A and B are shown apart, each in its own frame.
Chain A
């Protein structure tokens, strides 16, 4: 024991680190901050360290070259002992990290911790969030499969829309004219050197500021933050009702950190690694690329925005959101901290969470995408052709062969891009059906060039049978009267 102490002393005489470490560990924090609500920052740091370790382990096998990356991932999954587990840890760690950083941010915002004097801590935190998202995206690119390949195409298409600089930005991003070897190499450099380096620096700054400025006290409704008095009040609080950070508060951080690591390991073990999906071969086009979980909301948004709004939205909104986040502590640097007295803050968080959650959920179903194989894979349900005329059955064939099913569902199978047609005859008269099929409109292509008059007649005859037994098809009563002298017109196309 004595020897260890002497060796320790020898080192500390030269390093002089023991005193500052002891001081940092023992600095008094308000007792009520030793809360389970205050564990997310340290959890984010823990996951970051886990990502560093698993990332370095993956780099022992992974080959960052477009020709070999995919096969090296296969080798990790199937050849290297527990390679699949390390990949799964890294992938799940990434999801956990984004989630924990977001939760940490919400907690900080609702507890008013971004207010004076911790504005800069918040701003650095915003950059940490952006870098975390950057890591998530670039990490998805390094999993160089078909989703990564086409995902890069989507990124390039978005970047190209920047006025004037767009085409240059695309070539800079891709490292050449197309998505190829240079693209993967530069995303590797970003993911492994540039962003992690910045992250380490910014995390140090972030933690340093937390140490220097003190952990945000538990917000009490009515305890107002004022620039002139806050710091004195905080010091008084830590004196009267403070306790040393170690061990008074840190034990909860430690428990939660261990819990998170075990949770990631459990997910990794149970669900396994993410992909890789098909090979990054641009000549294989039977693919429906989808982004990773935390970018699904963006995928939904890009499908649902009106086309004309898309480019302005993509170019204007992200800078505005980032600017808003950075300016937040300067616009509301004083006043109430407690979320109980900040209803607008709470509503804002809820609105954003519900919006992102809804978009994410929708992107898991992608109702806006045609089902490419529905026309050959999903038959017309039997009950819709039972007891119909030969013409209507011919129409059902036209309906399948002309790929209407890719966008329209019958009996809950088929695409959802267009409306379900189970009771379309109730909504549209014969004339309206013909017009819709031939001219399209309302987001439907025109089929006039692709249907012969006979096919159109058959198709519409089939569509007219699609109504509930209890409800007759829609008809234009006035037209019947005008055309028929009392005789109801039943079939035939209009000129």
Chain B
């Protein structure tokens, strides 16, 4: 039987064997944390990463051009291009289609440019009105009164084989209007 020799405690500042292993252990766990953190962060930010550029937008049909009489504004609905199995009805979106004449259209988002409530079209007074905070817009989408700081959001459109299609797929918000800004027009234009 050999007797265990009691090792003298290491001098202050010196690295003991156990202290070294503990630090190595911390380092090893730090490495494991990074390995874990990368996929977690990537997963959490997946909705942001995909949206970079115009990743969510694509051309969706609104119906035949003939559905929209000239000089009138009609509601149209479309299905969001990105659909998940659990989305239910939320992927169906409404928008306002104004046909000026021939192939000239304006397609407005349903969302008020103030805080996103659904604006309603009033044919007789030629105004869009918002039920939430009282924003109002002229028939061309320009701001008429109330809290919005700009006109209605407008979708880019094109006509393919007689079908009106818009570039949509993302909720337009004041900080991210998605499509090009509604051109500034004087209110009486």
Contacts and interface: CB of A to CB of B under 8 A. Distances in A.
Given A160-B174, A289-B117, A368-B134, A67 B88 contact: yes
Contact of A157 (B136, B146, B174): B174
Given A160-B175, A171-B47, A179-B90, A403 B118 contact: no
A280 B88 contact: yes
Contacts of A406: 122, 129
B131 A370 contact: yes
Nearest to B133: A303
Q: Kindly name the residue among A68, A160, A177, A401 whose own CB sees the greatest number of chain B CB atoms within 10 A.
A: A177
Interface of B: 44-45, 47-48, 51, 56, 75, 77, 80, 82, 84-94, 110-111, 114-120, 122, 124-127, 129-134, 136, 138-139, 144-149, 169-171, 173-176, 187-188
Interface of A: 65-68, 149-150, 153-154, 156-162, 166-168, 170-172, 174-183, 185, 279-283, 285-289, 299, 302-303, 305, 307-308, 310-311, 368-370, 372, 375, 401-404, 406-407, 417, 439-440, 443-450
Q: Kindly name the residue among A162, A282, A310 whose own CB sees the greatest number of chain B CB atoms within 10 A.
A: A282
B125 A310 contact: no
Contacts of A178: 80, 82, 90-91, 93, 169-171
A283 B77 contact: yes
A446 B144 contact: yes
Q: Kindly name the residue among B94, B136, B171 whose own CB sees the greatest number of chain A CB atoms within 10 A.
A: B171
B188 A149 contact: no
A150 B118 contact: yes
B93 A157 contact: no
Contacts, number: 217
Contacts of B133: 299, 302-303, 368-369
Contacts of A446: 138, 144, 187-188
- DSSP majority for the A interface? loop
A311 B188 CA distance: 27
A440 B47 contact: no
B173 to A, nearest CB: 4
Contacts of A289: 117, 131-132
Contact of B124 (A174, A372, A402, A445): A402
B30 to A, nearest CB: 24
Given A180-B80, A369-B131, A445-B127, 5 more contacts: A178-B170, A283-B77, A308-B149, A372-B131, A445-B138
Given A289-B132, A303-B134, A370-B131, A176 B117 contact: no
B115 to A, nearest CB: 4
